Amino acid sequence: MATLPKIRDFDDPAYNPMELDALSFGRHEDPYPLYHRMRAEGPVHPISFREAVGLPDKVFGGRRSFCVVGFEEASKILVDPVNFSNKAYGENLGRAFGQSITIMDPPDHTPWRRIFQKIFLPQYVTQWGDTIVDPVVDQLMSAFQPTGRADLVAQFTHLYPFHVIYEQLALPKDDIDLFHKLAIAQTDYVNMDKAVEAGEKLGEYFKAIVDQRRAEPGDDLITRLALTEVEGQFLPEEVLISFLRQLMNAAGDTTYRGTSVLLTALLQNPEQLEAIRQDRALIPAAIEEALRWDGPVGMLMRTAVNDLELGGTFVPAGSMVFVLAAAVNRDPAIWPEPDRFDIFRAKKPHFSFARGPHMCVGQHLARVEMTRALHAVLDRLAGLRLDPDMPPPQLRGAMMRVPDHIHVRFEPNGSPPPR
């Protein structure tokens, strides 16, 4: 039996990426008044995203940049990879992930995307709901259910989607904290050297484990990807390893934020939480509304390939184009009273999973995870309410949004009723 490689920590083990949110993504309580003002002035603005929201920019600072807040313009950009390239991500995400599909444009992007997309089709991820998501959720909730109080971020949302992906990849449980640290650090845009180091440490580990799973196949996602062949050849190492690095981050970080926003919104609107308690068929609408209202990924990046005109503004080739998905999701022409969280509003496709060729590969899994998490919260935490003795949850951030804490009370030991 081949020996499993051991994942290595940062050279400076004291480095803590859990603190990176503030500088990398912002601490804004409410960026939406700014987005509404920008939209009122026009759909396209000659400014970079980080400058617009007042964040330092060590990566793209000084480049010709445009922010897009218009619904029509954003829709056009995301489905037009000929004029708007994803290569922009090569300078931030790409430095940690490597040549992941996020950095590629069609036609290079198309065949790899097809392979990865197949793995995350709804029919497969629904099964994972039973085999992986429910057990992970169950284990985490069992730890705090008897106490009658919890911080749902620290004890639940910040853990479960990461644990789900680690289970899918069959990573050794003893090293979960270190995997988590490396996964998160890959998006440390303020300490890019740490993001690169995280990518290197994960990369050397995944190369070894891919070899090991080819020799001794298991029933996990790494084995499946390691054995996938195209025209008699295994996937190119760079594409495979980069995808695994991206999964470690993308699968956990976004769903943690999305679930935290969903729970915050429902706890702040107890009548809507009660409506879902009475009718679980409302859960899908609640998830889509949370994603629209305060989606985890507030901004998407592209590079203009050609000189072009966008919403009446000239955009020269080579410019950075920042699509403010968060602003577009609150366009009052599409969603009346857009700042209101309302699970009963008419369903219209939001921008939180993007559009076009790069639309989120993991969207079906994210929905399954959020659905299972919300069912478990309703099943197990009877009388769930905000803790009156603790500060209420406050969503923070501009590029990515999440509350630091969700302090709640519930009836201790409420046993789960049969579903």
- Footprint of ligand HEM (CB under 6 A): 101-102, 113, 120, 246-247, 250-251, 254-255, 258, 295-297, 300, 352-354, 358, 360-362, 365-366
Name which of 212 and 246 has its Cβ closer to ligand HEM. 246
The nearest distance, CB 3 to ligand HEM, in angstroms, is: 29
Query: How far lies 149's CA from each of 6, 26, 370, 383, in Å?
Result: 37, 29, 21, 11
The answer to whether the CB of 248 falls within 8 A of the CB of 185 is no
Q: How far is the CB of 256 from ligand HEM (least distance, A)?
A: 9
Separation CA 228–CA 119 (nearest Å)? 11
C-alpha–C-alpha distance, residues 270 and 267, integer Å:
5
Nearer to ligand HEM, 60 or 353 (CB): 353
Least distance in angstroms from the C-beta of 388 to ligand HEM: 30
Q: Is the CB of residue 246 less than 8 Å from the CB of residue 97?
A: yes
Closest separation in Å from C-beta 177 to ligand HEM:
20
Q: Where are the beta strands (DSSP E) in 69-167?
A: 84-85, 149-151
Task: Write down the least CB distance from residue 391 to ligand HEM, Å.
Answer: 25
Rounded to whole angstroms, the Cα distance separating 151 from 104 reads 39
Give the 3-state secondary structure of residue 15. coil
H-only helix segments in 149-282:
152, 160-168, 176-185, 192-215, 221-227, 237-268, 270-278
- Min dist CB 139 to ligand HEM, Å, is 19
Cβ(368)–Cβ(345) below 8 Å = no
Which residue number, 68 or 145, has a Cβ lying nearer to ligand HEM? Answer: 68
Q: Which residues contact 236 (CB under 8 A, 6 or more apart)?
A: none
**Length reported for the chain:** 419
The dihedral over CA atoms of 147, 150, 156, 158, expressed in degrees to the nearest 10, equals: -150
In angstroms, the CA 176 to CA 191 distance is 22
- Among 372, 382, 404, residue whose Cα is nearest residue 148: 382
| Nearest to 265, CA basis, from 157, 361, 362 | 157
Least Å distance, CB 163 to ligand HEM, is 13
Q: Which residue is nearest to ligand HEM (CB)?
A: 362
Q: Looking at beta carbons only, is 140 or 366 nearer to ligand HEM? A: 366
Q: Which two tokens stand for residue 309?
A: 């005109």
What is the closest distance, in whole angstroms, from the C-beta atom of residue 166 to ligand HEM in the complex?
12
Q: What is the closest distance, in whole angstroms, from the C-beta atom of residue 232 to ligand HEM in the complex?
A: 25
Which of 164, 381 has the CB closer to ligand HEM? 164
Which residue in this structure is represented by tokens 């000084």? 62
Nearer CB in complex with ligand HEM: 48/102: 102
Smallest separation (angstroms) from ligand HEM to the CB of 215: 26
Report the 10 Å Cβ neighbour count for 409. Answer: 18
Least distance in angstroms from the C-beta of 135 to ligand HEM: 17
Nearest to 23 by CA among 61, 60, 56: 56
> Among residues 2 and 230, whose Cβ is nearest to ligand HEM?
230
Pairwise CA distance, residues 129 & 269, whole Å: 27
- Tokens matching residue 50: 């980080």
- Which residues are CB-neighbours of 271 under 8 A, at least 6 positions away? none
Residue number, 145 or 168, with CB nearest to ligand HEM: 168
Nearer to ligand HEM by Cβ, of 358 and 405: the residue is 358
